[in-house]
Chain A
């Protein structure tokens, strides 16, 4: 049986995670530390979390720190998660964004905290299906995450049999995947549409450029109020005047920031508040 986590050790982990990723771990969530860091304990041949915290306080623990942040912030992802946001993106957002832009003006879509890439590739499938409406315009999908291992997986676009059966209709599997031994590889055409970059949502978002659509789903729930506000307002600064933000079902901007306004009748979909739209470009995508 593992030793009880000391107050000092808990503080080490909670401060580290808050500073590096925004993740807030309450005292009631210490089981998450135990389950998610178990593999690191085994690898480092450490008896318990107290010993791991002690190791973190020593110099030269940068790689270990990174591994811990990755292990704690990796969240499950699946294709077309919750379905509704993707339906809205396809049926409402895309036609409106296309209509508001000239024929040569491209679109930029951001999958924030893209994990192993399923969200970005779900968007790529929709955009491919809407090719006729998009015409010759260029579409960029940018997936970002702080977890390098997940970014590598996303770039590879290789998924298990289990993963391609969660949320993905069989017609999409037939159209956009090929079997590689026991796994399924996403089509090269979709991989070419999406680029994945290491990026921390707590950092300066400006180098990412401006976006017409942002999917930032099931990320804010792990942040405290101040961090939510900071991240949401930084995202708002990277959005075009008519851009749309998609949050997770349990997330909202209400009571956190006035920079966004809900899209009426659409849970989890937000546009910039009217006060924010002034002096914003309508479109930024390259032709």
Chain B
């Protein structure tokens, strides 16, 4: 059975690109445009992993991650950040809060696949 990935990003274009790459690599994909909807999606059906933007309306990525870890435990599901925030302080905060990997936008298929491999998802 294919593994599931929840793509959380307020950009429809980014979701579309990430969906194409992940589906090509065997994932079933669900989408959410902000952290709040992503949290509700996880409560309804927990994905095998999450690809997570940082800056989004309603609830940002780091708040979503903190809620997710508080509610469902420290490691599951694995979370890969995917954001334009590309300084060390953001990276460290993401990892400290429980993200497994970190992608700095812009990204392409090679980077996404590399990072999912690093996170043990591929």
Asked if A170 and B118 sit within 8 Å, CB to CB, the answer is yes
Return 20 A-B CB contacts under 8 Å, by A number. A83-B117, A162-B111, A165-B103, A165-B104, A165-B107, A165-B111, A165-B114, A167-B114, A169-B101, A170-B91, A170-B95, A170-B101, A170-B102, A170-B118, A171-B95, A173-B91, A174-B88, A174-B91, A174-B95, A179-B86
Asked if A169 and B104 sit within 8 Å, CB to CB, the answer is no
Chain A residues with CB under 8 Å of chain B are: 83, 161-162, 165-167, 169-171, 173-174, 178-179
> What number of residue pairs across chains A and B have CB atoms under 8 A from each other?
33
Chain B residues with CB under 8 Å of chain A are: 86-88, 91-92, 95, 101-104, 107, 110-111, 114-115, 117-118
> What is the minimal beta-carbon distance from B111 to any residue of chain A, in angstroms?
5
CA distance A169 to B114 in the complex (A): 9
Asked if B118 and A169 sit within 8 Å, CB to CB, the answer is yes
Query: What residues of B have a CB within 8 angstroms of the CB of A165 in the complex?
Result: 103-104, 107, 111, 114-115
Query: What residues of A have a CB within 8 angstroms of the CB of B118 in the complex?
Result: 169-170
Query: What residues of A have a CB within 8 angstroms of the CB of B117 in the complex?
Result: 83
Identity of the chain A residue whose Cβ is nearest the Cβ of B100 in the assembled complex: A170
CA distance A166 to B108 in the complex (A): 10
CA distance A39 to B92 in the complex (A): 40
CA distance A173 to B118 in the complex (A): 12
Identity of the chain B residue whose Cβ is nearest the Cβ of A170 in the assembled complex: B102
Q: Select which of A166, A171, A178, A179 is within 8 A of B111 by beta carbon.
A: A166
CA distance A173 to B103 in the complex (A): 12
New A-B contacts (16) at CB < 8 Å, excluding given A165-B111, A166-B114? A161-B86, A162-B111, A165-B104, A165-B114, A166-B111, A167-B114, A169-B101, A170-B101, A170-B102, A170-B118, A171-B95, A173-B91, A174-B91, A178-B88, A179-B86, A179-B87
Identity of the chain B residue whose Cβ is nearest the Cβ of A165 in the assembled complex: B111
6 smallest CB-CB distances across A and B, nearest first, come from A170-B102, A165-B111, A169-B118, A170-B101, A161-B104, A166-B114
Query: What residues of B have a CB within 8 angstroms of the CB of A169 in the complex?
Result: 101, 118
CA distance A108 to B104 in the complex (A): 35
CA distance A166 to B107 in the complex (A): 10
CA distance A162 to B108 in the complex (A): 9
Identity of the chain B residue whose Cβ is nearest the Cβ of A83 in the assembled complex: B117
> What is the minimal beta-carbon distance from B110 to any residue of chain A, in angstroms?
6
Given the known interface contacts A165-B103, A165-B104, A169-B118, the answer about A174 and B92 at a Cβ–Cβ threshold of 8 Å is yes
Identity of the chain A residue whose Cβ is nearest the Cβ of B88 in the assembled complex: A179
> What is the minimal beta-carbon distance from B98 to any residue of chain A, in angstroms?
13
Identity of the chain A residue whose Cβ is nearest the Cβ of B81 in the assembled complex: A170
